[in-house]
Structure 1
Amino acid sequence: MQVIKPLLAIRDLAVEFNLHGTPVPAVKGISLTLWPGRTLALVGESGSGKTVTSQAILGILPANASITQGEILFTPPEGETVDIAQLSPNSPAMREIRGDKISIIFQEPMVSLSPMHTIGNQITEAIRLHRDIPKAEEKQLTIEMLTLAGFPKPEQAFNAYPFELSGGLRQRAMIAMALICHPALLIADEPTTALDVTVQAQILHLIKSLQQKLGMAVLLITHDLGVVANMADDLVVMYHGEVMESGPSEALFRNPQHPYLQALFAAVPHFDMKPGERLRPIREIAHETSAFKHGLGAKTEAQRQAAPHLSITNLDKSFGSRKGSLLGGEQSTTRAVFDLSLDIAVGESFGLVGESGCGKTTLSKLLMGALKPDAGSILYNAHGEQIDLGSLQGEELRQFRRRIGLVFQDPHGALNPRMTIMNILREPLVIHKFGNEQSQRQRAKDLLALVGLSPRFLNRYPHSLSGGQRQRVSIARALALEPELLILDEPVSALDVSVQAQVLNLLKDLQQELGMTYLFVSHNIAVVDYIADRIGVMCRGRLVEVGRREQILRNPTHPYTRALMAAIPYPDLDRPLDFQRIIGSNYSDPASWDSPYAHGPEQHTEWQQVAENHLVRIAAGPALSNETGEMGEKNAPEARL
């Protein structure tokens, strides 16, 4: 009888980094086993050693890192067992394994793909390194793999450059490149972290289906327990380079034993939270707001009684592009924001939900004055005075920008790597001539205290901070001029669940204590549910559903809202993703929606009242029944949403 060996068996592995002559342990004697055809999830926060473990398996550790003990036993199908830990990273034996028998999908496809080469060129390079076949056959194999990876037009994608593809298609290209040689083991390092929930569900389904077709094993590295619940057979939980708990996913999800795993589950936002319940991060943030509370309550109340904080009416913004040569070619227009009207009350937290490309970030730029609308108006309530953003220019616009703060999605890209934290926090104060150098330095200390960071961070650079710390610096910078309205553009999408819980709790506290208004932009409805009072769902530049958070969550009415809800992976084995429903529906195409929501690109639409303060967009036609079974009111005034 043939004995089945593990595909990968790591025994007592330790990895150290040499930092200026000082050894720093990153992985401390971990052991794990991955069997053929199964999926093993490696879970933990940033810095727990997950990615270092995957680099050791592939022999791509940084130059200042080394394996100090342990074995990495790899047994390919119909092959002899090899201890990868004993192989030189540049040896022919290691190069034969890397990319052929073991492949990897990286977290950020735009960084991992060469911007100077076509998709076809990059995928065929992987074939040329490991196969000796004619060029025509290389192209045919690549197109077949692109088809398998779900490209709608694989021949066209073969000649496309990465910047021409969406985030989801770039990740599919990475998957095609990793699987072109049919590896026995696929390492997926945070393959869906920065993707929309719907695109994430498509990518997870793709990995799962290709795993079954090719018979490969998957080592899934992630911090998202919802992804683990839908993908993994086995689970290993890491913390500070050590294994805290391991075993079948069923056992660990049903009955987590280690306090760290229990804490990870408690940090995940979910729809079953009770009113007033808070997320429980592993480490709480103690923050100080006393320097930022000068008469704010009275000002806010007077402002609230005057008018909505922000009143957007019939806003339009389009972008033109030319396909072909610079001097000619076909002109196309994309409507990024289309006939959008919305009121946001003073002190309200409004959540804006939708996929990438739906117009959320364009709307944020319009509100900041970074873009000018083609049509429509934006009125800002400045303590009773109505300011028309479209009329502001030059110095007036510069002065107005003090009233609105913006927190970006990627804290690493948002902070200048050549500036210290002190200079980053002083920069808006210097630009707006806010105090002298001494007062600005004191203000920088107060800002760090506001987001729960020590003054010792002031002389450090962004690269020496963790992702969560960098995002807290970004929040502090946005609050430097004491804005009344804060726009948060996907502020936690790239963070671990525990750090995400820290930042969300901090944002919730700051809003209540400082009396600010939030526009919280995200593609994750579970996150928006925790932070927002009302939610607006956006598709193709338009709002399609607006209501109080409990209305949107308990009674999602629009097909697009229901599709977003269905695509959220729950950290619960009893609530798996319905992949077929997500993959099989063209959820973002208005023409494919059910009646009465379906409409053409130029067809007139109107608002339908489903319940009090709960509105949904339908094609002009028959009324829609509300929750009580009665006919709802047609033509609800869009400007009063």
Structure 2
Amino acid sequence: MSFTLWPGQTLALVGESGSGKTVTAQAILGILPTNARITGGQILFTPPNRQTVDIAQLSPKSRDMHDIRGNQISIIFQEPMVSLSPMHSIGNQISEAIRLHRDIPKSEEKKLTIEMLELAGFAHPEQAFNAYPFELSGGLRQRAMIAMALICHPSLLIADEPTTALDVTVQAQILHLIKSLQSKLEMAVLLITHDLGVVANMADEMVVMYHGEVMESGSSQALFRTPQHPYLKGLFSAVPHFDMKPGERLKPLREIKHESKPFRHDAPAREKAAVSAEPHLSIRNLCKGYTARKQSWFNREPKQTTKAVQDLSLDIAVGESFGLVGESGCGKTTLSKLLMGAIKPDSGSITYNARGSQFDMSTLQGEALRAFRRHIGMVFQDPHGALNPRMTILNILREPMIIHNLGNEATQRKRAEDLLALVGLSSRFLNRYPHSLSGGQRQRVSIARALALEPELLILDEPVSALDVSVQAQVLNLLKDLQQELGITYIFISHNIAVVDYIADRIGVMCRGRLVEVGHREQILRQPAHPYTQALMAAIPYPDLDRTLDFKLITESNYSDPACWPAPFGHALDQHTQWKQIADAHLVRVAEAEMGA
């Protein structure tokens, strides 16, 4: 493994999960696991105005390494919620880096921390100083991580998947922040990512890794325009993009071969879908708010209500794949919880069509709700957190059947084997535990568990956001095949609009708890009418050097503030609004006053 990173440059380490990208970063910082050691080679680091030092020869616990780590070389980790301590305030955690490496008064520490928080894009840095991580959104937590990494003005910043779990608009803001701070502090950036769109917008040089070895390296211009190695060409083919032809499939590096296992309870589900004229799911005027009292228990200030979902109406057809997009906090996950019956709406109705039988989900309780839950399955974003680490794959797949009293132990085992075959895994995985599986394999087990009760509707909440591009392509192809074979209705929630384009028939765009635009995917993605939808489209990083992001436009536009939208969209979302049809099945939300005019 060899590469050179020059001052002020950005070098991207690209490759699948398990290729050695993070281990490389750990070696540079001297934070390798205890069972790992550097067996050969050099890591030559030349700080400004200092002599070159070979990090590979330093003890991880030495004074010299302590001086380098966090001071001259810093890192931003992938998951800010795990990296930040929930027991300490943001200001306390950022100030800690100064206390370790600088001998300055405490008052000066706080001043420098607040200045860095402001530089990192916090609108109210003084409030953020006293806030705790759980009080911040994912984007703000990542900004706090960046402030912590840069508080000592390092000459090298390692960014390990800094935007993987963020939506496109926040991702664009974070990338712009890293670029601008890099320019101000004149530092080098080692960017670790599997997102080729991010690489196209950030990197000067690229190093492509596979199984711990470099497959291809060079300038981003050379590798994007004329890739030579089959592995890099394969990575480009696995990325979903908006120029795909009808019927074109993604090409993962390793295709999943799965067996078609039709559901037992019904003959071809697609025939069942064809005879049903009623919507599979009919949502009418759905509202859900969360009430909280600020500050302390003793505070007598009036309670504040956040409207997570407000006045939402939607019909989803049997066998349809409906994509739901929007920024973090727009209400997508709250809507999925309402549809699952995990929480109750404040008002409105959800009518479910189960093969001709109508259920009002908002009125179901107790045993009736428990029995109904068989009709809907859910796949979560993080397969590592969604699977019980103490249970074998067999027990994970049997658990839903045990809860609903389906079959005996022998039939449940046979069903578990069939489910694994359905998602392209062999029966030898049954006795393994989740930690022994890769991320893609864990997500396939999650899909198998969601299908265990033979649901007619599947809610997929960011099912591929934590996966690298090749595994993502495998899972997306699998989901498409399963829908065609089983006739399941999908509600596909994602912040990756290119992924939604590949999987969805229709798309709904959510902002602040409301749908602002609904239409066929070609209408929404090729001819977006609402300014919020247009802003989301403008923030998508393409793996194309000729279509780079306009960071200035994204950061300066108040796309998520309804008060800044032009007519006829310029309105507060809690005012009276209605749908305007601009094409067949293409609706956009406008103010009633504008409609009347």
Measured against the shorter chain, the TM-score band is over 0.9
SS at match of 1:276: coil
Under a length normalisation based on structure 2, what TM-score does the superposition of the two structures give?
0.98
Within 5 Å, give how 1:611-626 maps onto structure 2: 611-623=583-595
Which residue is 1:15 aligned to?
Answer: none
Q: Is the 8 A contact 2:580 2:587 kept in 1?
A: yes
Give the aligned residue type for 1:110.
Answer: M
The one-letter code matched in structure 2 to 1:403 is H
1:447–1:480 Cα contact (<8 Å) kept: yes
What amino acid sits opposite 1:87 in the alignment?
L
2:314 alignment counterpart: 342
Q: CA offset at residue 509 of structure 1?
A: 0.3
Q: CA deviation at 1:303?
A: 6.8
Aligned to 2:225: 254
Aligned to 1:206: 177
**Structure 2 contact 270–319 (Cα < 8 Å) conserved:** no
SS in 1 for 2:48: coil
| SS of aligned partner of 2:61 | coil
Q: Name the aligned partner's letter for residue 256 of structure 1.
A: P
Question: Residue 158 of structure 2 corresponds to which residue in structure 1?
Answer: 187
1:77-116 mapped onto 2 (5 Å cutoff): 77-116=48-87
- 1:180-579 paired onto structure 2 within 5 Å: 180-292=151-263, 295-297=266-268, 300-301=271-272, 304-330=275-301, 331-579=303-551
Judge conservation of contact 1:304–1:346 (CA < 8 Å) in 2: no
Q: Would the aligned equivalents of 2:568 and 2:591 in 1 still touch at CA under 8 Å?
A: yes
Residue aligned with 1:139, SS: helix
Q: Which residue of 1 aligns with 2:103?
A: 132
Structure-1 residue corresponding to 2:7? 36
Q: Compute the RMSD of aligned alpha carbons.
A: 1.3
1:606 aligns with 578
Q: Measure the CA separation in 2 of the matches of 1:389 and 1:304.
A: 23
Larger relative contact order (C-alpha < 8 A, sep ≥ 6)? 2
Match of 1:23 in 2: none
How far 1:601 moved relative to its partner? Answer: 4.5
Q: How far apart are the structure 1 equivalents of 2:170 and 2:382?
A: 19
Q: Does 1:63 align with 2:29?
A: no
Report if the CA contact (8 A) 1:300-1:347 is conserved. no
Q: Deviations over 1:480-506 (max 9, x none)?
A: 011000000010011101000000000
The size of the alignment, in residue pairs, is: 596
Taking the aligned partners of 2:299 and 2:136, their CA distance within structure 1 comes to: 22
In the TM superposition, residue 290 of structure 1 has moved relative to its aligned partner by 2.8
The answer to whether the Cα contact below 8 Å between 2:273 and 2:319 also exists between their aligned partners in 1 is no
- Structure 2 CA distance, aligned partners of 1:247 and 1:63? 33
Which structure shows the higher strand fraction?
1
Match of 2:472, SS state, is helix
C-alpha separation in 2, matches of 1:574 and 1:283: 29
Contact 2:269 2:488 in 1 (8 A): no
Give structure 2 stretches of 5+ with no counterpart: none
CA pair 296-343 structure 1, distance change in 2 beyond 3 A: farther
- Native 8 Å contact 2:262 2:268 kept in 1: no
Deviations 1:118-170 (A, max 9, x none): 11111111001111111111111111111110110011111111111111111
| 8 Å Cα contact 1:201/1:582 also seen in 2 | yes
1:140-151 matches, within 5 Å, as 140-151=111-122
Q: Alpha-carbon deviations, 1:301-360, whole Å to 9, x = none?
A: 367524110000110111101102224333100111100000000000000111111111
Q: Distance in 1 between matches of 2:560 and 2:300?
A: 28
> 2 CA distance for matches of 1:413 and 1:318?
26
Verify the 8 A CA contact 1:267 1:501 in the aligned structure 2: yes
Q: Secondary structure at the match of 1:586?
A: coil
Residue 576 of structure 1 and its aligned partner are, at CA, apart by 0.4
Greater shift in the superposed pair: 444-453 or 320-329: 320-329
Asked if 1:159 corresponds to 2:130, the answer is yes
Partner of 2:555: 583
Moved over 4 A (4+): none
| 2:122 maps to 1:170 | no
1:146–1:154 CA contact under 8 A, matched in 2 = yes
